[in-house]
Amino acid sequence: MAEPALAVRALEAGYVRGVPILRGVGFDLAAGEILAVLGPNGAGKSTLVRTIAGLVPRFAGEIRLAGASLADLPPHRVVAAGFAYVPQVANVFAELTVDENLALGGYTLKRGRAERAARVFELFPDLVAKRQAKAGRLSGGQRQMVAIARALMVEPRVLALDEPSAGLAPIVVEQVFAMIRRVARSGVAVLVVEQNVRAALATADRALVLAEGVERLSGPAGDVAANAAIAEIYLGGAPAGASP
């Protein structure tokens, strides 16, 4: 079997040593696949992607990108290895132009930055007219597109998005998820953390549901959507299979 684009095993991580937020999370993600990471507030979803990105200390477990370990690399080396991350808030450089945001997205590229930017702009035709505009002056949807475009500059193997739908109007959410599907079709493995369970499950191939830092449910998106346990997890109910 081919090496997964991203393999995470028994990951424990948190901000303070001895206080793990993630307590043993693992999954495989194949090229072109979309994995939705779901769960109630405080489940550790954002911590999971931030740990892979190198922003949160890892205590135990493995993170492998196409077979090579990412564990303990500083964030800028994780990007260079092929993992691009779009944070939930403040995910564009608001005081920089769209062009400059993309140039910084391609910071690790030694050459061909302009050519790469031209290819990325083909995916985001609406942004072309805004190239010289400061990212902070764009609409929420456009900003999200700039954030994704910035992340795609490095031609990542894996793209991780933290709540790409947060704060956006429903029609814009649909556009963002259409873009995520398009990126996945080009062969990029996509990890998407979401509160918007419905939109995420409609888009993802598979889903991983976390609660209190551990996996509670995982499988094909359709199965997870049909599983009655998901409502209980969100409502803080008993673990699946432990109902009275």
When asked if residue 79 is in the footprint of another protein (CB under 8 A), the reply is yes
In 3D, which of 27, 19, 42 has the Cα closest to residue 236?
A: 42
* Closest distance to another protein from the beta carbon of 155 (Å): 12
When asked if residue 82 is in the footprint of another protein (CB under 8 A), the reply is no
Please list the residues that pair with 13 across neighbouring strands.
Answer: 22, 58
When asked if residue 124 is in the footprint of another protein (CB under 8 A), the reply is no
Quick one: tokens of 149? 């475009």
Subset of residues 150 to 209 that bind another protein, contact rule: CB under 8 A:
150, 154
Stretch binding another protein (CB under 8 A), from 1-9, 12-20, 84-92, 205-213: 84-92
Q: Find all residues with CB under 8 Å of 153, minimum gap 6, and list them.
A: 102, 105, 106, 109, 113, 116, 117, 120
Euclidean distance between CA atoms 46 and 86, whole angstroms: 11
Residues 20-59 as x/- pattern, contact with another protein by CB under 8 A:
---------------------------------xxx----
* Closest distance to another protein from the beta carbon of 75 (Å): 4
Closest to another protein by CB, 84 or 168: 84
Concatenated DSSP letters of 107-160: TT-SS-HHHHHHHHHHH-HHHHTTTTSBGGGS-HHHHHHHHHHHHHTT--SEEE
Stretch binding another protein (CB under 8 A), from 5-13, 105-113, 190-198, 222-230: 105-113
When asked if residue 87 is in the footprint of another protein (CB under 8 A), the reply is yes
Q: What is the dihedral of CA 204, 161, 232, 174, to 10 degrees?
A: -60
Contact pick of 10, 67, 68, 107 for another protein (by CB under 8 A): 107
Contact pick of 32, 60, 64, 108 for another protein (by CB under 8 A): 108
Concatenated DSSP letters of 9-29: EEEEE-SBTTB-SEEEEEEEE
> Which residue ranges make up the site for another protein (CB under 8 A)?
53-55, 74-76, 78-80, 84-85, 87, 90-96, 100, 103-108, 150, 154
